[in-house]
Chains A and B, each alone.
Chain A
């Protein structure tokens, strides 16, 4: 589904990703772990098409097409979803309205019929947050839950979770994890970017990758995360990073 080869990317003139390669297939859950400054969030932002990230080498192929040339909205319509590390507050735009606009814009882009109001109602969980402006005045946990809720409504093929676990207490973390587990399916892939092993207790990954100094320096199964927890990032993949 997703094939990243030798990806190099710069932010503000500084090279952050330095030859990252990664392959993700449908149905798989991949965890990307790494120390601060390794390039974890840059990877999420490059994949979702944020301005200010300059790709200088390498390719990203998504379902056989070049993802990097697509506008952010086109990537979303093609099934790519980024759960933000810092969800944006948008005063004056109602959460429900926002979700409906997003869903219908994606459906329209895919040549599907737009959903009518009633049909949407059925899919929407009753939630007091829905009637408020997007993320406005939400607590940290509410913002992250809202990201997962948007993901559930938009049903992406490839979900990228950028440190969705950071800043959450254990209850909120469990809720978020439950949301992700519910959405796991043979057709859908997850890329979970995280600093801590904690989330992986609740969402068990198929693969764990260590991102350091702009590239994947070690890959393994879930046991790699436990090893990281025990020994820290120091010393891991030293040979590859050199």
Chain B
């Protein structure tokens, strides 16, 4: 009995030839990850972590492995141009690194940036620890992390980024993942590793987009490790094509006094799932996440946040907003654990949601577990409609109803961008939010 092979999706994923690196430990690890997926299969309806994201529909689909011509497929570079992004850039098309679209010349001192495929050819040994396991940071559960195992078995490329101790990298680094329509409906995978050494700082912009319309399944697994006093600002712009199924998992580990600021915009895709597991592992570490998910049409966007405070005086703030229209569905789970010994920690999580249509749905679930002393924690979630009093106020000044609705909805979403430091990028992202709203 092979539970995994019981669906067309799992069967097609298991039928994909594993990438061959010629590196014994890596090829062995990939076979093990494949075997783990074969044994565990896709998460069923009774797995708690997938309760609100049913895979029934997706499980009936089949995806082919890899894009043989990804290296030469024409892609419009203007589509991933972002204001204020003149720095280094790595571009992947259907999971394959594209040197011709990337910008890796004259990297600033202290920044090491290369595609995983190249890093493995150059010197695979430093990657052995990370790639021997399905994910570096956080927990991987056989029952719920099937896509992480699939990624670990199949990802042949991705990003390897390191910043040397005390290096302050001024220019933002852009990571671009393009899903491009191909001859067949594709599954592709990318594995990213980001590490900032002591006192280093960096701004990272991760951009997901589509080129042409065609069903795809993409998995991305990324780990971020911030050593003592390192500072990372990461912006994720998820604007995948409408028929893309995108499953991402991010692991964040913050050592002492490390600080991370994360801004996430979830706009595109068909079925989108993002698991974010963060460990505040060192004293005084701080994580500040802001995000907005805006499913419309029949989109399904699911964000699962799990933040563990594991050390003294750690702080996390998480402010997420959801806006669902048409027949779309949003899911948000924000789980905060303050572990024994993480005394003096401060955790604040909020998720506010707007339903713009009677057929839209948002399921939100804040969770808080505290096992330490002198902890300040607050969490809350709301789901509602636009405030009638505000609408009338705007209309009484002459602003038509549709415009008043758009104005209030845009203001609601934009709140997550308020503390994004890069003004040009903030304005651009704000424009994308507004463009996503019903006219």
Contact = CB atoms under 8 A, between A and B. Distances in A.
Interface string B403-439: 1100110111011000000000000000000000000
B350 to A, nearest CB: 14
Interface string A93-115: 10000100111011001000000
Contacts of B57: none
Interface in A39-95: 48-51, 71-73, 75-77, 81-82, 84, 87-88, 90-93
A154 interface: yes
Interface string A143-179: 0000000100010000000000000000000000000
Nearest to B407: A93
Interface residues of B, number: 23
Contacts of B378: none
Contacts of A49: 395-396
Contacts of A102: 394, 397-399
Nearest to B393: A88
B394 A98 contact: yes
A75 B398 CA distance: 8
Nearest to B412: A92
B389 interface: yes
B371 interface: no
Interface of A: 48-51, 71-73, 75-77, 81-82, 84, 87-88, 90-93, 98, 101-103, 105-106, 109, 133-134, 150, 154
Contacts of B394: 90, 98, 102
Contacts of A50: 392, 396
A91 B411 contact: yes
Interface in B360-393: 387-390, 392-393
Given A93-B407, A102-B397, 10 more contacts: A71-B395, A73-B396, A73-B404, A81-B397, A90-B390, A91-B415, A92-B411, A98-B397, A105-B398, A134-B393
Contacts of B23: none
Contacts of B389: 88
B427 to A, nearest CB: 13
B184 interface: no
Interface in B125-148: none
B403 to A, nearest CB: 7
B398 A77 contact: yes
Contacts of A88: 387, 389-390, 392-393
Contacts of A134: 393
Contacts of A93: 407-408, 411
B401 interface: yes
Contacts of A76: 395-398
Nearest to B409: A92
What are the 3 tightest A-B residue pairs by CB atom distance, in nearest-first order?
A92-B411, A76-B398, A106-B398
Interface in B96-124: none
30 contacts: A48-B396, A49-B396, A51-B388, A51-B392, A71-B395, A71-B400, A72-B392, A72-B395, A72-B396, A73-B396, A73-B398, A73-B400, A76-B396, A81-B396, A82-B396, A87-B393, A90-B390, A90-B393, A92-B415, A93-B407, A93-B411, A98-B394, A98-B397, A101-B407, A102-B397, A105-B398, A106-B398, A109-B398, A150-B397, A154-B398
A101 B398 CA distance: 9
B393 A73 contact: no
